Every structure is written in structure tokens, then in C-alpha cells.
Amino acid sequence: MSMIYGERVRLRATEREDVKRFYVWVNDPEVTRYLSLYLPMSTVDEENWFDSMTKHDQNEKTLVIEIRDGGGWKMIGNCGVFGIDPVSRLGELGIMLGEKEEWNKGYGTETMTLLLRHGFDTLNLNRIFLRVYNLNRIFLRVYAENARAKRAYEKAGFVEEGCLREAVYKHGKYDDVIMMSVLRAEWTARKKEK
């Protein structure tokens, strides 16, 4: 797969040297606050994750999120399409913005829009869910208190489908989990409006 370009963001294949930066992000409590990670990760854990990810189907490999930085590119996170069901034509999205100084600048929304375009126009999916953390392989979920992420997903076209009440326990309390998705028909209608 070639790189996927947006206005300010590009998505590229993950390389082994990226794992060093991922290690920093997955051990930052602010970055992982709304992810399923809750224990410290070692460099070996991250290396093992990378090795297992390289064995995934090409369509389900993790992509690096980069933004323009002067004449080059700066890595700010990772994302991907996962759990693709070839019969029902559905998949789930995952995203992690690790560079905190780049939060609240619209990069998450642009990344989600690029992933939706890729999922519908390249992978021929009919339904796309979000995976902010992974309860299972089918639904998009966002912690109810993660208003920043929910706004970004809504701007990209995601629709709230329901709420799993007190479905996750993290940071000493239970939190609701909101499920969101986009259908191909909604994506197509949105493209025509623009």
C-alpha cells in the first residue's frame, strides 16, 4: 500500500524504528488514559507487538500518523483498520495520538477521515466502527468522559449507536462506553455534500 495523504496528515507503514516512540507513548498515562492499556509496557512487549503486527494481513497493519514539519514529516501517532470481516464488509478503526503537544489541532479528525476514505474507497467496507479501546472485535467504543475524541469522531462522520453502561473499569471507577459507526451510504452522502 502506498502512503495515504490528507491536507496536513499522511499515513505510512510502520517501521521497526517507530517502536521506540510507541514505547514512550504507551507508557504515558495521559496518552493511554482512554485506551485499553493499563499496565506498563516494556520495550520487549513493543518489539513483540511489532513482530506480530508484521504477520497481519496487509489491510490490517498499523499505520503511522505523520504531520508536516518544515520540509519533512513528524510522527505523532498510529492508527489502522482492524478486524475486517470480509463477508459483512465491516472493520474497526483504532487510533492513538501520542504527541500531546499536537492534541486539539484537528489531526485526529483528519486521520479518522483518511481512514474512512481508505476503508470505504479502497477496502470496499460497508460499515466502519471505531476502536478506542478493544472490548471485542466488532464495535467502535469511546469512553463517555472522552469528549475530545467523541467530537473528533462526530466531525469525521461517526454516529452514536448506543451506550454500554459501566462497561469498563479504569482509574478506580467504572465508565460508560459509547459505540459509534459510519455506514457507506452515510459516507457517500457526505462526500456528495462537499
As a whole number of Å, the end-to-end CA separation of the chain is 27
Domain ranges of the chain: 4-193
Per-residue pLDDT of 107-134, as tens digits, reads 999 999 999 999 999 999 999 987 544 3
Amino acid at 118: H
The residue ranking higher by pLDDT, 37 or 193, is: 193
Q: Number of C-alpha atoms within 13 angstroms, CB side, residue 172? A: 0
Q: What pLDDT shows up at residue 138?
A: 29
The CATH superfamily label for domain 4-193 reads Gcn5-related N-acetyltransferase (GNAT) (3.40.630.30)
Alpha-carbon distance of 99 to 120, in angstroms, equals 28
What is the pLDDT, as a whole number, of residue 194? Answer: 73
Integer Cα distance of 107 and 110 in angstroms: 5
> Which tens digit of pLDDT belongs to each residue from 43-97?
999 999 999 999 999 999 999 999 999 999 999 999 999 989 999 999 989 889 9
Residues forming beta bridges with residue 79, ordered by sequence position? 63, 95
Q: What is the 3 state secondary structure string of the chain?
A: CCCEECCCEEEEECCHHHHHHHHHHHCCHHHHCCCCCCCCCCHHHHHHHHHHHCCCCHHHCCEEEEEEECCEEEEEEEEEEEEEECCCCEEEEEEEECCHHHCCCCHHHHHHHHHHHHHHHHCCCCEEEEECCCCCCCCEEEECCCHHHHHHHHHHCCEEEEEEEEEEEECCEEEEEEEEEEEHHHHHHHHHHC
Higher-confidence position of 135 and 105: 105
Cell, residue 33: 488514559
The more confident residue out of 34 and 16 is: 16
Query: What pLDDT is stored for residue 107 in this prediction?
Result: 95
Degrees (nearest 5) of the Cα angle 43, 148, 145? 85
